[in-house]
Amino acid sequence: MLENLKLDPEYDGFLFLAEAARNPPSLRSHHHAELELNIVARGTVTYVEGGGRFTFGPRSLLWFFPSQEHQLVDRSKDAQYYVAVFKPDLIKRSCRSSAYRDLKRKKAPNGLISHCVLDSDPFVFLISLMQHIMEGSLDPDILNQEAGFGVDSDFRYRHDDPDGLNAGLHHLLLFCWRLQRTGANEDRQVCLHPSVSKALKLLADEAWEGTLAQLARQCGLSEAHFSRMFGQQVGVALNRYRNSLRLARFWEHYRKPVQPTILEAVYEAGFGSYAQFFKVFTEAYGEGPRKHLKNALENGKHPLSR
């Protein structure tokens, strides 16, 4: 799926800190015209890309190139990771020497997720640099609720100093690629069985509403064997993954311009009951949905809540 990040002309990209504790899961497979950089500050993040599963821990630096379809499938509850994107025009202006020519590619140079683990000193420097670049951007809660670019809404990324942001993104891009070139890709890939890959595609289709037994049969395996294989290869239990998808869909439905009630959004997202939704939501955010939305509204940090 080609994602439109809806960046206004004055911005060469954006940067924000994604936090699992307040960032709604966005689990659909996608790519975009912009080059994406992730730096994991805490916890773990897990992606599926090109038929493989990759899990990254703290100090991981990873890249997604414009034609690289990728899907976030899981995060630890304490996960914090910086997400930066760079427009093609910024890359063209910034990357003039042969040392940076790979950044102009549409596809990843190695065909997989380019990544390395940073040493402590450059990692600490990057955290400081990114914090400075983000000064003047929108409230972190709003950026997290909107996944940085606005999921199914009229949201637009904003920064008080576009020139300062663009200069910071230029420096961040070149510095991180220098670290990538001198670092080493570790073999983090877990190859996915075709049945698991098929299941991920079926589950991504909101119109598909079968049971787990029906999903297993459609993928050609027994329910027990399929559930076990899915958990081993994707790194997250099948029920938990499916509930994360439903939670992501709840946010998409609840934040539509013509907003449904919470209960309507719960059933539209595929939850079988409000009790099931309440349990999944509380596990993700540490408080019930009504309290969470009420607190966000009172703090002025979720403009679409009520």
- Say if CB 5 and CB 32 are below 8 A apart: yes
Q: Taking 60 as the threshold, does the pLDDT of residue 306 lie above it?
A: no
For residue 303, pLDDT over 50 is answered with no
Domains in the chain: ranges and CATH: 13-182 (2.60.120.280), 192-298 (1.10.10.60)
Give the global pTM: 0.86
What gap in Å lies between CA 75 and CA 98, rounded to an integer?
35
| First-to-last C-alpha distance (Å) of the chain | 31
Rg (CA), the chain: 19
Using DSSP's 3-state secondary structure scheme, residue 26 falls into coil
Sorting pLDDT into bands at 50, 70 and 90, what band is 152?
low
Q: Are strands 190-191 and 70-75 parallel, antiparallel or unpaired?
A: unpaired
Determine which of 91-95, 156-160, 300-304 has the lowest per-residue pLDDT on average.
300-304
Across the chain, the runs of DSSP E, i.e. the strands, are 13-19, 35-42, 45-49, 52-56, 60-64, 70-75, 80-86, 115-117, 190-191
**How many C-beta neighbours within 10 Å does residue 91 have?**
20
Identity at 151, one-letter amino acid code: V
User: Given this model, what pLDDT does residue 50 score?
Assistant: 84
Of 252 and 74, which is predicted with more confidence? 74
pLDDT for 304 equals 40
What pLDDT is recorded for position 132? 97
| Nearest by Cα to 99 from 174, 171, 39 | 174
Look-up of token digits 């679409």: 304
In this prediction, residue 305 has a pLDDT band, given cuts at 50, 70 and 90, of very low
Assigned token pair, 264 = 């309507």
Q: At what angle do helices 289-298 and 274-285 cross, to 10 degrees?
A: 50
* pLDDT score recorded for residue 236: 87
Q: What pLDDT score does 161 carry?
A: 98
pLDDT score for 291: 83
- In this structure, the strands spanning 52-56 and 115-117 are unpaired
Q: Which of 111, 13, 113 is nearest to 64 (CA)?
A: 113
Model pLDDT for residues 215-234, shown as the tens digit of each residue: 999 999 999 999 999 999 99
Q: Which residues contact 7 (CB under 8 A, 6 or more apart)?
A: 13, 14, 34, 85, 87, 149, 157
- The CA distance from 152 to 257, in Å, is 9
DSSP-based helix, strand, coil % in the chain, nearest 5 = 45, 15, 40
- Give the mean pLDDT of 73-88: 94
Q: What is the pLDDT averaged over residues 135-160?
A: 86
* Distance from the Cα of residue 130 to its chain's centroid: 18
Which pLDDT band holds residue 297 (cuts at 50, 70, 90)? low
Return phi, psi of residue 302, to 5°: -140, 90
Sorting pLDDT into bands at 50, 70 and 90, what band is 89? very high
pLDDT number for residue 97: 96
